[in-house]
Amino acid sequence: MQKLLFSLLLTSVLASCATSETGDRPRMPTDAEVVYYNSIAPEEDHIACFTRIELGSRFPRRSCYRVADLEAYKGQEQNIVDLMQIDGLLDSPFGF
């Protein structure tokens, strides 16, 4: 009886490990797939992928973005710095 219970417990543990999570991230495209997509997609839909290590992590993560979105974000960063200078938040390098 104990062997049966142990084998049932072992089977249920292995089965629970084999199930996939509902929040699995989609697979990122390879470099070859990005080149092919950019060759057939319109200019405004081109994508760029790169690998970087995020703050607080040691593991590199591949990220893909539309080039148009990257260009739009580039201008927003400078606008935020300008607004902080107008409000006086960047007057002193020590924040006093």
Listing DSSP states for the chain in one string gives -HHHHHHHHHHHHHHHHHSPPTTPPPPPPPHHHHHHHHHHS-GGG-EEEEEEEPTT-SSEEEEEEEHHHHHHHHHHHHHHHHHHHHTTTTSSTT--
Instruction: Evaluate whether 62 touches 28 at the Cβ level (below 8 Å).
Output: yes
Question: What pLDDT, in 10s, does the model give residues 12-21?
Answer: 666 666 555 5
Report residue 34's pLDDT band, with 50, 70 and 90 as the boundaries.
very high
Parent domain of 35: 27-85
Q: Answer yes or no: is 10 within a domain.
A: no
pTM exceeds 0.85 for this model: no
Q: Answer yes or no: is 40 within a domain.
A: yes
Q: Answer yes or no: is 54 within a domain.
A: yes
Q: Answer yes or no: is 17 within a domain.
A: no
